[in-house]
Structures are given as C-alpha cells and as structure tokens.
Structure 1
Amino acid sequence: MSDLAIKQTFSLMPQNIDEALRFADHLSQADIVPKDYQRKPGNVLVAIQWGMELGLQPMQAMQNIAVINGRPSLWGDAVIALVRSSPLCEYVYENDDGETATCRVKRRGEEEQVRTFSMADAKLAGLAGKQGPWSQYPKRMRQMRARAFALRDVFPDVLRGMPVAEELMDTPTEREVGPARQAEAPKTLPSYDQTKFESMLPTWQKGVNDGKTTPDDLQAFLQSKYTLSDEQISRIQKLAAIEGEATHENP
C-alpha cells in the first residue's frame, strides 16, 4: 500500500470518566468552541454526556447542544437530523403558507401526526413582533415551533426528552429556586378623612347621575388608596338609589 494512503482517523470520544474530565478541561480552554463552553468544563462534560446518549460525537454535541436559561437543549436543525436518521422515522414534511407553518411526521407503524404554528398562535404567546428573530424571520420561527411540537411529541425517545433551543429562547427565565420566603404583610391603607368624604359626596353624586361612574367603581377606586368605614361604604352605595329616585321623579 502506498505511503500516501489515508490513515484511519482517530476518535475523540472519551472512553472513561478520567478521559472525559481531561477532554472537557482541554476543550473549555479553546477559543473556537461556543461561548457557553469556554472556561466551563462542566458544561462541556454535560454536552458530551448528552451527545453520547443522542448518538452525537463530542464536537457535534458542542455545536448542536446549547445552554438556554441554564438548560441543555438542541438546535432545531439537529433535532430534525436526529429524527430523520432514526429507523423509527418514515418521513418529515414541512411547509408554510405565509401564515401557518405545518409539520407532518410519521413514525413507523403509526398514523401520520400533524402539528401547526400560526401567526395567531404567535400573537397569543406574545411572540409576534417580538424584538429579535420573531420580527426578522417570522417564517423561520414558525417553522421551528411547528417542528418542535411534532418531533418532540412523536419521537421523545429519539430526542431523549431534550427541549428545543428555539423554544427555550422564547421562555422567560425560571425564577431562582431557594428557601421559601415569608409572605409580606399587606400594607395598611390610611382611613378616608370623614370631612373630605362629606365634601366629596355631591361631586360623586353628580358623577353617578351623569353616568360617568357607578357606586361600585367609585368604591373600588377609593379602596385602592384608602380604608373605608362601613358607614362610608353604605353611603357610597346609596348614591345609586338617589340616582334612581331622581330619574323616577324627572323622567
């Protein structure tokens, strides 16, 4: 055989935990790895482990597994690549009519499943027009959402329960979990001055008569700032009766 023959390539897949730890430490020092892994050997180790369970080589794992809101997740293109390479998948078809993205998938031995994501769905979720990809590439983002719903529902075993990065990017950061905090005591509102109350009654009565307010709305507004006595509440509610009497006397 010629000396120029191509030699068999070597694998960077760690064979034991010691190799994995050293490998993760070396990779974390490289500037060409994604920023989520730079100087973070722990993240590298987690990505390698997830990659091994998904059938990805270490470098593939680091390129396709992202840490979003503290959780490892797969980019959408890696998701569809893993599913299509699985013998369990018959097909994955995607299309978009300009308003709704549709993903049709079929698992061997099962009926076809269809998932959609429309701009109406995006508006309902507070995503439409959101600064970033949703305002720049809405068609692509609809596609990613429909794809994520379909593939996670039909092939959870292939994806090992991994979330999709594009979804997590639109999810608010989870609140930090810590010791339960004692509920703060509600603030005590000041009492409404009786003299001022008496002086305001004619004004409130006119507002009710003119249809600009109601006793219930008036009471709710005052109680958002003050503590009302039972007598004050009763007199506010009687404003409606006075209005009714005035209306009856002067049709």
Structure 2
Amino acid sequence: MSTDLTTQGAPTAPAITTESMALIESTAASLGHAHQIASALCKTAFAPAHLKNKPEEAAAAILYGAQVGLDPLAAMQNVYVIGGKPALYSRTMVAIVLAAGHAIWTDESTNSRVTVSGRRRGSDVIETVTWDTARAELAGYTTNKKYRTDPQAMLYARAAGDVARRIAPDALLGMAYTAEEMQVLEARDVTPRRESATDILAVPAPAALAESASPSAPDVITPAQSRALHAGLREHDLTDRDAGLAFVSEILGRDVESTKTLTQAEAGQVLDALAAWPTDPPESRALELDVADVEGQA
C-alpha cells in the first residue's frame, strides 16, 4: 500500500523569514552594482593581472571588500582569493583593525625576529605574537623567496596578521589567512584557484616534451623549480604568456618558447632574478608612487 508523503508527515522546507529575504534582495542589488563597477575597472590599468577581464571575480572581491570597509579599488587590489578562501595582505588587515578602534604595535623588528602586540578596544588583554626565521622555516613559509630578500617584512606579515585576527576577528569577518600565507599555499599547488602561470606559459612543443621525458636529459628543470618559477611570475603579475616568456628570455639572453625547455641551471638563474626583484604588497607600491609624485612636485 503506497503512502502519500505529501499529506502524511513528509518533511517540509523551513520557511524563509522576512529578514532573510531582505538580506538576499539587498545582496543581489549590491552584487549588481559591484558587477557594474567591476566591468568598468577590469578594463583599466587599475585592475591587477588576475582580475583583468574577469568582472565576476572582481565583483565578488568588491562585495567582500565592502563588508570589511574597503572601497572598490582597494578591494580589487587587496582581496586575494585561492580555493574560494578570501585573504588580505597583513598591512591591510592591520589598517582595518586600527580603523575599528583596536590597537596594534611592533615590539621588535629585525631580519631574524619580529614581535607584534595588539589589544582589543575596551580590553586590558594584550596579545603578543613572535615570528622568527626558525619558526617560518619549520612552518614551510621560507619557500617564498621574499623570506630571503626581505625577511623582516615577511616575518612582520605573519606576526601582524596573527595579532589582527586574534584581537578583531569580527572586523576581518573571521578571515583565516593573510595573503602572504595564501601565496605560499598557491606556490605549493595546495589550493589553486586562479588560472596558473604553468597553464599559460608552459606549453612545450612535442619535441620539448620528448626531451623533458627522456633519460638523456637529466638537467631539465625540476617540478619543484617549475612550481617556484611560476609562483614567482605570478607574484610579479607576469601571468601573461608573452610577458612571462619575454622576461625569462631577457634574463637568459636567448629566446625561450616554453619554460619546460629550461635547464636546472637556467631555472635557478631566473629564480634568482625573481628573488632579487622587489615585490611589495599593492598598497605599499601605491604609497611609494604617491610619495614619488609628491617629491617630484616639490
């Protein structure tokens, strides 16, 4: 005998409350506005490489940025997403936390050790975090070449990010990672999201594939070198195929049609060049440009 589930105890979906529907409608309207702004900005030089001609992703970054107090341009420059997880550069985190009325300060800062402290507004409890080179190496973060070229800034990023998230998780919407941490994860191919530089640049000809797979070519670029190389190119916004290969060719003094054809020695040469090339977070670069403009007008 069949049972009519529509009338005899079938589970029913919970009703959507008026407040929930209002939130959905408000978000939809905000997303529409964000997409309109993103569509215009993604065609300009203000859009970072990973958001060029990607208005949907830029709109999501703008919408998320608005929730933590960033204007659309700042959101596109500072919201970093991998595997669907948003992150902010540590300096941006600190700025948001300070704007919310909390306090963060640096106790110690050297090339081998950085200590940062913070206190939530209205609280007497002080959170203190120390990061040194030994801890960074143990955590695996020193795969990022910036730990060799600018260790103080990288150690500060870890310490400041930890403090900011501890004292004001609400201001940061419970954000789990800093952009600096996510870049290391991306370099390890742990949670890739963006179209990778490997896909864009490494498209070798069949002959090159045969050479790289041949036992007679033991000096070919290693998988670890390849991952580090493409992570470095991403870090410098060289994800465009022609721009990336032009950079590699210039460093090596020969035409390079694919990074798969590099030798281990050549890969090391390019990695050294990338490591020596400063890469500050977007907000730092913008600040430096503003200062340069002011000095030029003086």
Pairing partner for 2:106 from 93, 113, 116: 93
Q: Tell me the equivalent position of 1:193.
A: none
* SS of 1:161 mapped into structure 2: coil
Q: Indicate yes or no: 2:158 matched with 1:145.
A: yes
Equivalent residue letter for 2:157: M
Q: Which runs of 5+ in 2 are unaligned?
A: 1-27, 193-298
* Deviation sequence 1:126-179 (CA, Å, 0-9, x none): 334x35211111111111111111111221111112331011112233358xxx
Q: Tell me the equivalent position of 1:46.
A: 60
Q: Distance in 2 between matches of 1:94 and 1:43?
A: 38
Q: Indicate yes or no: 2:41 matched with 1:18.
A: no
Pairing partner for 2:127 from 106, 113, 120: 113
* Deviation sequence 1:174-228 (CA, Å, 0-9, x none): 358xxxxxxxxxxxxxxxxxxxxxxxxxxxxxxxxxxxxxxxxxxxxxxxxxxxx
Contact 2:110 2:152 (C-alpha < 8 Å) held by counterparts: no
Q: Distance in 2 between matches of 1:141 and 1:78?
A: 14
Find the structure with the greater CA-based Rg. 1
Deviation of the 1:94 alpha carbon: 4.3
- Please provide the CA RMSD for this pair: 2.5
**Superposition pairs for residues 28-47 of structure 1, below 5 Å?**
28-47=42-61
Q: Indicate yes or no: 2:117 matched with 1:104.
A: yes
Q: Percent identity?
A: 28
Task: Specify whether residues 98 and 159 from structure 1 end up closer, same or farther in structure 2 by C-alpha distance, changes over 3 A only.
Answer: same
**Superposition pairs for residues 66-85 of structure 1, below 5 Å?**
66-68=80-82, 71-85=85-99
Task: Specify whether residues 93 and 38 from structure 1 end up closer, same or farther in structure 2 by C-alpha distance, changes over 3 A only.
Answer: same
Task: Specify whether residues 101 and 30 from structure 1 end up closer, same or farther in structure 2 by C-alpha distance, changes over 3 A only.
Answer: same
Contact 1:36 1:43 (C-alpha < 8 Å) held by counterparts: no
Q: Indicate yes or no: 2:190 matched with 1:174.
A: yes
Task: Specify whether residues 31 and 124 from structure 1 end up closer, same or farther in structure 2 by C-alpha distance, changes over 3 A only.
Answer: same
* Deviation sequence 1:59-104 (CA, Å, 0-9, x none): 11112212345533211211111111112x1343342244321011
Q: Distance in 1 between matches of 2:32 and 2:81?
A: 23
Higher relative contact order (CA 8 A, sep 6+): 2
Aligned length: 162
Task: Specify whether residues 38 and 145 from structure 1 end up closer, same or farther in structure 2 by C-alpha distance, changes over 3 A only.
Answer: same
Q: Distance in 1 between matches of 2:182 and 2:144?
A: 16
Contact 1:68 1:165 (C-alpha < 8 Å) held by counterparts: no
Q: Distance in 2 between matches of 1:56 and 1:73?
A: 13
* SS of 2:170 mapped into structure 1: helix
Q: Which runs of 5+ in 1 are unaligned?
A: 1-13, 177-251
